[in-house]
Amino acid sequence: MSTREERIAKNEVIFREVNERIRDVVPSENGGIDFLCECGREDCVEQISLTIEEYERVRADPLQFFVKPGHATKDVEDVMEENERFLLVKKHVEEQEIARRADPRA
C-alpha cells in the first residue's frame, strides 16, 4: 500500500468516527440524519442524509463506508451499491486492516 492510499484510508476512518458521534447526538429529522461524506478527500465537507437503518447497514461491516456520488477512490475501494444520494464502498484488501483496527464499534 502506498503512502497516498494509507492516507486516504485513514481520512475515511476519521470521518467514520465523527459520524458515529453525530449518530449518538443528533436527533433524526424526517427520517434522516445529515452525516459527513466518508470519502478520502482532505477538503470534502459535503453531507449525506441517511436514515438510521441505512446508516446501521453500512456500519454493520467495518470495511464499508458511504460517500457522495463521484467521491469513490477506485484504487482503495470498490463501489458495492449506489443510489442518487450516496455510494456504498468497501475497502480493498490492502486497506482493510486500517478500517478494521479503527472500527469504533469493535
Average pLDDT over residues 27-45: 85
Domain assignment of residue 106, yes or no: no
> Cα(101)–Cα(7) distance, rounded to whole angstroms?
15
**Greater pLDDT, 36 or 10:** 36
Please report, rounded to a whole number, the percentage of residues in the chain having pLDDT higher than 70: 96
Domain assignment of residue 28, yes or no: yes
- How many domains does the chain divide into? 1
Average pLDDT over residues 74-88: 95
Q: 41 is in which domain, residue-wise? A: 3-101
Domain assignment of residue 91, yes or no: yes
Q: At what angle do helices 52-59 and 3-25 cross, to 10 degrees?
A: 140
Nearest residue to 48 via CA among 78, 24, 18: 18
Domain assignment of residue 57, yes or no: yes
> Which three cell numbers, joined as nine digits, stand for 11?
481520512
